[in-house]
């Protein structure tokens, strides 16, 4: 039920705090507009690369490249390569960005902030240091990302100049592909150099075997010229008898044949390595990049930053939320009470009446002693009617608390009037309510129990007297008749206070004297109205709340802090006796806001 009640309160809160909400939202939104349109527009251009993971051997197009790297990791690796310092640094040098003011260190947020704060940056002017700082700035402008799980890689560059953005994006892709080719060429050259060493070794080995074979043949004259004729070797061993000739021992022939075969193997190895070396020599000049540009960066038309519609839309929502937050803050924390339903929403008290603001101070008016004189001078005024509404509310509260025919309906009723702080008008309303009862023919007693700052004597135009406070301090009882004064205008009975007390007064209200006094007064009066100090200023009101049948809590329109009012109401509720009602009065409201309440 509380959550539903809170939701139902929201439209009323928004209505009451419309000005605060709109003002806060307008300030935030207009600030966002100013900042957004003061930002320098930036443009992003993107080039699209396709990574081809197939083999690029032009000498053998059908050969598959053997690699343990998967296609997915290959593409991710290419993304990291494009983002590497080597590629970006070459782009910085190739694009002449060291001399470009846009990528100078102090043109970015950190440098601008330091320069605005007056902090001088000790930036060295040497080339490597400056290149490093420009590289950091350029890296922030470059964005490389893989397009989903495809083989496509997007390379975008953001710049204040759209043409520069497109040029730099294409430059980064060109540098990347150039380095890719250079890396493949370097790898091929390294492989060629390694193979060149093997070819040299194979040539030396072949030369050694041929020298040994030639020397062996010379040493055995019968083998001369047989190195290339296998049949002749066989005839010399006697295996082939078709031709008569010199005979050679079998072991000599075996050695000769072994040398011959070793030389042949060395020759074949040398030919294979020499062919492979020639292939590497050719590949050095035939290397292709594994990636290709499928879409070069074009001149961007619309700026990528700031996105004005998006920023303003988001800031409009933020401003509205901040405005509502400011309205709720003002409604429940820092603001005053500006509507009748707000009193009930914040304090949880029924509202007895809304008293209009009257020109002049509480006690200084051109024709009278205070605002309470309006009850007498203008009984049909809005002010007087609002005071009578308080009386009706009190009677309704009393009727609800008692059953029909209850004898206590004829008993005296003690009304306590208090507030959260001084200046809320509680004394004026206490005097006005008491005078209203007196003019209605009720026997009414008004007691000024605000011992810290008594003021009732000013409303009834009497000099202060110390009889009441002397009684509370233990002096002999002068009798109720000797303490009570009469307001000649309304026949109201009044017990007024003395000068402001300069000592703690709560001790005087804790004893039995005040209880005895009220008990005696109940036998002679129909209503007793007690004016007390504010709850936030002194604890006196809390002791008197225990002796009262109803508490009138006064809050001043747009003035009483809500936090103070909530604390005061909580304290009063903890101290009132069972069955005693606490009702609120909204005092000093603008007349233009009042007629809706009075028309209900």
Taking the domains of the chain in order of start, what are their residue ranges? 1-39+307-334, 42-220+274-305, 335-598
Kindly give the interhelix angle for 2-16 and 340-347, rounded to the nearest 10 degrees. Answer: 140
Nearest of 132, 559, 141, 135 to residue 357 by alpha carbon: 559
First-to-last alpha carbon distance for the chain, in angstroms, is 25
Strands (E), 187-232: none
The reported pLDDT for the residue numbered 281 is: 73
The reported pLDDT for the residue numbered 409 is: 57
Question: At 133, which helix (H) or strand (E)?
Answer: helix 127-141
The C-alpha atoms of residue 224 and residue 146 are separated, in whole angstroms, by 71
Task: Answer yes or no: are the C-beta atoms of 413 and 529 closer than 8 Å.
Answer: no
Burial class (CB in 10 A: 0-12, 13-18, 19+), 492: buried
Q: What pTM was computed for the model? A: 0.57
Q: Which residue has the tokens 């420009």?
A: 134
The C-alpha atoms of residue 496 and residue 468 are separated, in whole angstroms, by 7
For the stretch 366-371, contacts whose Cβ atoms lie closer than 8 Å and that sit 24 or more positions apart, written own/partner, are 369/458, 369/459, 369/460, 369/461, 370/428, 370/431, 370/458, 370/459, 371/425, 371/428, 371/432
The reported pLDDT for the residue numbered 239 is: 47
The C-alpha atoms of residue 253 and residue 160 are separated, in whole angstroms, by 86
CATH of domain 42-220+274-305: 3.30.1890
Taking residue 5's Cβ as centre, other Cβ atoms within 10 Å add up to 9
Q: Which residues pair with 152 in a beta bridge?
A: 50
The reported pLDDT for the residue numbered 340 is: 82
Task: Answer yes or no: are the C-beta atoms of 131 and 89 closer than 8 Å.
Answer: yes
The reported pLDDT for the residue numbered 57 is: 56
Taking residue 467's Cβ as centre, other Cβ atoms within 10 Å add up to 19
Q: Which residues pair with 495 in a beta bridge?
A: 447
Per-residue pLDDT for the chain (600 aa), expressed as one digit of tens each?
Answer: 344 345 666 777 787 788 889 999 999 999 999 998 888 899 999 999 998 877 555 545 555 554 545 788 889 999 999 999 999 999 999 998 888 888 876 555 555 555 555 554 554 455 678 888 899 989 999 999 999 889 999 999 999 999 999 999 999 999 998 988 888 777 777 877 788 888 888 888 888 878 887 777 777 765 655 555 555 555 555 544 455 555 667 777 787 778 778 888 888 888 888 888 777 677 666 667 788 899 999 999 999 888 889 999 999 999 999 998 888 887 777 778 888 888 888 899 999 999 998 865 555 544 445 788 888 889 899 999 999 999 999 988 877 766 544 555 568 999 999 999 999 999 999 999 999 999 999 999 999 999 989 999 888 888 888 899 889 988 888 888 889 999 988 999 999 988 787 778 888 888 889 999 999 999 999 999 999 999 999 999 999 999 999 999 999 988 898 889 999 999 999 999 988 999 999 998 876 554 444 444
**Domains 42-220+274-305 and 335-598 belong to one CATH topology:** no
Task: Answer yes or no: are the C-beta atoms of 42 and 159 closer than 8 Å.
Answer: yes
One CATH from 1.10.1240.10, 3.20.20.140, 3.40.50.300, 3.40.50.1970 for 335-598: 3.40.50.300
The reported pLDDT for the residue numbered 539 is: 93
Task: Answer yes or no: are the C-beta atoms of 505 and 456 closer than 8 Å.
Answer: no
* Residue 146 per-residue DSSP state: E
């Amino acid at each position: 039920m509380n959550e539903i009640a809170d939701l139902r309160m929201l439209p009323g809160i928004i209505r009451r705090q419309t000005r605060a909400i709109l003002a806060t939202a307008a300030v935030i939104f207009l600030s966002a507009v100013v900042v957004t349109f003061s930002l320098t527009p930036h443009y992003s251009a993107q080039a699209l690369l396709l990574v081809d993971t197939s083999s690029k051997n032009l000498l053998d197009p059908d050969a598959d490249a053997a690699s343990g790297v998967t296609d997915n990791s290959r593409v991710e690796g290419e993304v990291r390569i494009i983002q590497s310092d080597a590629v970006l640094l070459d782009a910085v040098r190739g694009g002449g960005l060291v001399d470009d003011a846009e990528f100078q260190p102090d043109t970015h947020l950190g440098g601008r902030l330091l320069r605005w704060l007056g902090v001088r940056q000790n930036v060295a002017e040497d080339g490597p240091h400056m290149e490093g700082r420009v590289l950091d700035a350029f890296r922030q402008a470059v964005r490389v990302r893989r397009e989903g799980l495809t083989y496509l890689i997007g390379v975008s560059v953001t710049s204040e100049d759209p043409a520069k953005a497109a040029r730099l994006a294409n430059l980064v892709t060109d540098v990347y592909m150039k380095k890719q080719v250079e890396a493949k060429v370097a790898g091929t050259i390294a492989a060629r150099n390694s193979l060149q060493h093997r070819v040299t070794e194979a040539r030396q080995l072949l030369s050694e075997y041929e020298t040994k074979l030639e020397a062996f043949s010379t040493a055995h004259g019968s083998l001369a010229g047989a190195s290339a004729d296998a049949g002749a070797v066989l005839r010399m061993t006697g295996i082939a008898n078709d031709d008569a000739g010199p005979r050679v021992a079998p072991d000599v022939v075996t050695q000769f044949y072994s040398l011959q075969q070793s030389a042949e193997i060395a020759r074949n190895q040398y030919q294979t390595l020499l062919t492979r070396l020639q292939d590497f020599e050719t590949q050095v000049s035939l290397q292709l990049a594994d990636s290709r540009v499928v879409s070069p960066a074009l001149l961007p038309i619309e700026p990528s930053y700031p996105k004005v519609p998006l920023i303003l839309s988001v800031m409009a929502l933020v401003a509205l939320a901040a405005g509502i937050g400011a309205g709720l803050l003002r409604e429940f924390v820092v603001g005053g009470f500006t509507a009748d339903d707000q009193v009930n929403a914040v304090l949880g008290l029924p509202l007895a009446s809304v008293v209009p603001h009257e020109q002049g101070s509480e006690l200084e008016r051109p024709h009278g002693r205070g605002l309470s004189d309006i009850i007498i001078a203008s009984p049909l005024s809005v002010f007087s009617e609002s005071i009578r509404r308080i009386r009706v509310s009190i009677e309704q509260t009393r009727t609800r608390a008692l059953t029909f025919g209850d004898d206590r309906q004829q008993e005296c009723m003690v009304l306590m009037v208090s507030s959260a702080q001084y200046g809320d008008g509680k004394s004026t309303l206490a005097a006005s309510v008491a005078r209203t009862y007196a003019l209605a023919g009720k026997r009414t007693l008004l007691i000024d129990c605000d011992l810290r700052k008594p003021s009732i004597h000013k409303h009834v135009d009497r000099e202060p007297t110390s009889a009441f406070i002397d009684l509370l301090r233990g002096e002999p009882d002068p009798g109720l008749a000797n303490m009570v004064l009469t307001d000649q205008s309304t026949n109201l009975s009044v017990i007024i206070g003395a000068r402001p007390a300069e000592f703690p007064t709560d001790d005087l209200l804790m004893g039995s004297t005040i209880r005895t006094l009220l008990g005696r007064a109940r036998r002679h009066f129909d209503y007793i109205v007690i004016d007390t100090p504010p709850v936030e200023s002194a604890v006196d009101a809390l002791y008197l709340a225990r002796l009262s049948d109803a508490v009138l809590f006064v809050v001043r329109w747009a003035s009483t802090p809500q936090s103070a009012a909530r604390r005061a109401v909580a304290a009063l509720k903890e101290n009132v006796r069972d069955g005693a009602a606490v009702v609120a009065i909204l005092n000093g409201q603008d007349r233009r806001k009042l007629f809706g309440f009075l028309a209900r």
